[in-house]
Every structure is written in C-alpha cells, then in structure tokens.
Chain A
C-alpha cells in the first residue's frame, strides 16, 4: 500500500489548523505571547514547555495538536523528519548576548541546536524512533518526500511525522504532516506546496 498524508497541522499567522479545520486563532503578533495563549487554549499541561526556546515551542505545539487529534494512537515507530531555514537562531542570539554580558545561561545553551526540538517531541510522546533535522534555504518538498519514502520502504519507520518548522523572531510557519501506509492525501510535491 502507498504511503500518504493522513493528517497535517499548520501553525502560521496566528492560526492553528488541523486537517483544514481552524482550531485556534489569535491576533497576537508577538510569537511568545501567541504560543503561550495557544498553550493555555489547548491545555497542554506540560510545564517544561515554558522553558523551551521558540523553535521547540513551535515544534512541540504543532506535534501535540496533531497527535491529540488523531483518531488512532500514534505508532511508536513513527520517525520524525523536520526541516527549516533559520535553525534555532533566536536562542543562538539570546545565548550570544548572555555571553557578552558576562554570564552564559545554561537554560539557553541547552537549546542551541535545532535538533533539540526532535528530542522534545520524542520525550513528550515517548518516541524512540528515527529522527533527523535538516536545514534548507526554502521549503523542500522533494527532499521531504524522498526521505520519508526511504524511511518507510527500508522499514526504519512505520510512519513519519515530517515537515517544516521555521521561526525567526515573530515570523513563523510550521507545517507537520503524518505519512502512514493508509489512504489520504497523495505524498506529492504539489500537495505539499499547497499546504505550506
């Protein structure tokens, strides 16, 4: 059976969308305030969320909303495949500033790698599956499709939660989609470009 997109979640321009359904909308333009409002709205109840850098908050919020809305339990052998352009630039800059001011903050330093977001999603959802984070200049559907198909075809994973999680200051766009061996939206470049 073909692997197709069974569900997706997008967080962009103050909106949280799951499978075409608008779940939450907020006119707050400050990302930190917006994501805190969303956290309270979706009742995440995960204190560690507050400690995370903006990239992790965005990735964890997106994956949490997507997983919470699944009708079936997430397959524990679901790989994570994330991409973006700016890595974790916001926390990098904050960390750099704290160094120049004399005291490097450990709480910032631990988030100065984009793949930490994969760890945070894995910890929250008790996943011990394959995971990778790649940086591209722009959204790269060809790569996401090829890598996702390889993960499933080589049996490294039964499903893949893949996508683009980009944030730099208050400019953010996160699209995560779940690919499973089930009927859904065809895993094609044009479909991903329509979603992003």
Chain B
C-alpha cells in the first residue's frame, strides 16, 4: 500500500505538471482539491485517466469521484479494491 501511494504521487506530479513538488511534499491525507493541492476540474479529468490507463478502472459514476479523489489515501484504497491492472 505504501508503494502504491508513492507511485500515485509520482504519477500525479508528472500528469498534472506539479514540477515544484516532490512525492514527499504530498501528505497521504492532504486534500487534493480545494485548500490542499488546489487541483482543478481539468486535473480531475487527468486523475480519471490515470485510473483508467494505469489501473484499468473506469469511473462510470462521476459522483463517486469526489470521495475517491479526496486524498492520496482514498485514491489508493479505491485502486487497491478495484484495480484490474
């Protein structure tokens, strides 16, 4: 699980061009949207692509996204339970 969280942080930094951050800068429970990393709606689409491309998870209910993408912790838990890759 710790490896998955680190991997996720690296993927997010690369996909969202957060060049000023390192994986160590992102806390597992830090909010990804709003006050935390300040991600926006375009970033949310990028996260959906990461789930699909890298973990084989298709998010068919957008309402679930809010909870899944709350933090690295919640993303990693969801991927762990639903991944097909």
Binding site for B on A (CB under 8 A): 36, 47, 50-51, 102-103, 105-107, 110
The prevalent SS among residues of B at the interface is helix
- A107: chain B residues at CB < 8 Å are 15-17, 42-43, 45-46
Question: Can you list 13 residue pairs at the A/B interface with Cβ under 8 Å?
Answer: A47-B38, A50-B19, A51-B16, A51-B17, A102-B53, A103-B52, A105-B49, A106-B46, A106-B49, A107-B15, A107-B16, A107-B43, A107-B45
| Docked complex Cα distance between A36 and B19 (Å) | 9
| Docked complex Cα distance between A51 and B19 (Å) | 9
Is there contact, CB below 8 Å, between A103 and B19?
no
A-B residue pairs, 10 tightest by C-beta = A106-B45, A50-B19, A51-B17, A50-B17, A106-B42, A103-B53, A107-B46, A103-B49, A110-B42, A107-B42
> Which one of B18, B19, B46, B52 lies within 8 Å of A105 (CB-CB)?
B46
- B24: chain A residues at CB < 8 Å are none
Contacts A47-B38, A107-B43 known; 16 new A-B pairs at CB < 8 A: A36-B19, A47-B20, A50-B18, A50-B20, A51-B17, A102-B53, A103-B52, A105-B15, A105-B46, A105-B49, A106-B45, A106-B46, A106-B49, A107-B15, A107-B46, A110-B42
Number of cross-chain contacts by CB at 8 Å? 29
- A106: chain B residues at CB < 8 Å are 42, 45-46, 49
Binding site for A on B (CB under 8 A): 15-20, 38, 42-43, 45-46, 49, 52-53
Q: Nearest residue in A to B46 (C-beta to C-beta)? A: A107
B70 to chain A, nearest CB (A): 20
- A47: chain B residues at CB < 8 Å are 18, 20, 38
A171 to chain B, nearest CB (A): 22
- A110: chain B residues at CB < 8 Å are 42
| Docked complex Cα distance between A48 and B46 (Å) | 15
- B45: chain A residues at CB < 8 Å are 106-107
Q: Nearest residue in B to A98 (C-beta to C-beta)? A: B49
- B43: chain A residues at CB < 8 Å are 107
